[in-house]
Amino acid sequence: MEKYTVDRFEGELAVLLLSGDETVQKDVPRDQLPNGLKEGDVLEIQFKEDNKVEKAEVKEVETESKKERAKSLLEKLKNKNKSMGLTLLL
């Protein structure tokens, strides 16, 4: 099983990025993935030989950790910009 992060949704597809190598992208039908999936969620997925999802599980602890890390980096960037007299617009 491999880990992926939900990058975005495009219609009925979820665009997933391979953890550790975000240049590897998979487009997976949403109906093959757990309900309630959100952008940024980390999934552990096992694919069948025909590339359909055999098993998919949201890794809640890793998802939360990744979101906290991103939030922390954003705060550091905001604080750095404040000290330089810049305003970060989001």
Summarised one tens digit per residue, pLDDT across range 5-59 is: 999 999 999 999 999 898 999 999 999 999 999 999 999 999 999 989 999 999 9
Q: In this predicted structure, what is the pLDDT of residue 42?
A: 96
Would you say 16 and 3 are in contact if contact means Cβ atoms under 8 Å apart? Answer: no
- Whole-prediction pTM: 0.77
CA angle 35, 36, 37 (to 5 degrees): 95
Label residue 80 by pLDDT band (50, 70, 90). confident
Q: At the top level of CATH, which class does the domain 2-83 belong to?
A: mainly beta
Spell out a b/e string for 11-24, using b for 16 or more CB atoms within 10 Å of the CB, else e: eeebbbbebeeeee
